[in-house]
Chains A and B, each alone.
Chain A
Amino acid sequence: MTGCLPIALDKATRIVQTLLVAGKEYVGIMHLHKDVPREEIEKAVKDFTGKINQLPPRKSAVKRQLRQREVYYFNVLEIDGKDILFKVGCQAGTYIRKLVFDFGRKLNIGAHMQELIRSKAGPFSIKDSFTLHDLKDAFTLYKKNNNEEELRKIILPMEKATEHLNKIWVTDSAVNNLCHGSDLYAPGVSKIHSTIERNELVAVMTLKNELICLAETELNSERIIGKQKGLIAKTKKVFMERNIYH
């Protein structure tokens, strides 16, 4: 993979889980095996937008059976003979190489992917990315000159990786129990996002916007608001160190 690759450090490592299920965007070049009029290409990309069925490629991490994925947008940016520069926004787990292959079949001419870069991974965009070289320079500046300015531009708080998730904010007195792995109960809830569904992965935050843990909800937003006692969400992964709120 080339392009946007978020990497989590040290205690934040497991936060990448939130990105596995997040939407992605790619920019790529597909090569058609014959010339095709522009209108036909434009029409075909529309056929591959919305819900599509895709058979995962032979070399893939998942079971090889037809599965539905959603393509949020699929745009032709430029056409140069048989080469098409495109941009596609899609659900996690959509195979772009396969999408291009299927696209070629649909046009009855064949096509393959020539180049592909990931331009978005959930809340991370290639526009705001840095090279490993940038990171190394910033780290050297910090280590040698004790100047942390550049490093602070490149290393972001792990909370950035939860930007796309719905959130529940809890009171100070609920924080430490969560850090010890307890589930979240109604009295601890202070604020919530309004669009939470049941069985959804949410980020549980302090009132200072620190990530405490990821949890799976038992109820939707409306029912969470109405509930005075009982289980709200099951704690899945804890990120905050224990005994910070004691």
Chain B
Amino acid sequence: MEDLLPFEKVKKETIVKRQAETNPDFGCKPEERPVEQLIKYGVVNINKPSGPT
């Protein structure tokens, strides 16, 4: 079995407090961001070789 960190083991449950809709005119899903926005609000998972950081 693969070793997991604590947060990877927790199955997160979501509780709805107030059912609501979101207006498509505002914002956008993260995966649909235009590339310029993606770069501005992005993270990269770098595999750093040995040597100075």
Contact = CB atoms under 8 A, between A and B. Distances in A.
Interface of A: 1-12, 15, 22-25, 72-73, 75, 87, 89, 120, 122-126, 128-132, 135, 142, 148, 151-152, 154-161, 164, 166, 171-172, 175, 189-195, 206-211, 221, 224-225, 239-240, 244-246
Contacts, number: 178
A225 B40 contact: no
Interface string B1-33: 001111110101111111111110011111101
B15 A195 contact: no
Contacts of B6: 23, 72
A68 B52 CA distance: 29
Contact of B35 (A129, A151, A195, A239): A151
A224 B17 contact: yes
Interface of B: 3-8, 10, 12-23, 26-31, 33, 35, 38-50, 53
Contacts of A225: 15, 17
Contact of B27 (A3, A156, A208): A208
Nearest to A138: B44
B39 A25 contact: no
B38 A157 contact: yes
Q: Name the residue among B15, B21, B46 with the largest chain A CB count within 10 angstroms.
A: B46
A2 B47 CA distance: 7
Given A2-B48, A10-B41, 19 more contacts: A3-B47, A5-B48, A89-B5, A120-B5, A124-B45, A151-B38, A155-B43, A156-B42, A164-B5, A164-B8, A172-B20, A190-B18, A193-B15, A194-B13, A195-B13, A210-B28, A239-B41, A244-B26, A246-B26
B35 A5 contact: no
A21 B45 CA distance: 17
Given A72-B6, A206-B27, A5 B17 contact: no
A131 B45 contact: no
A191 B15 contact: yes
Given A1-B48, A72-B6, A75-B3, A160 B43 contact: yes
Nearest to B33: A157
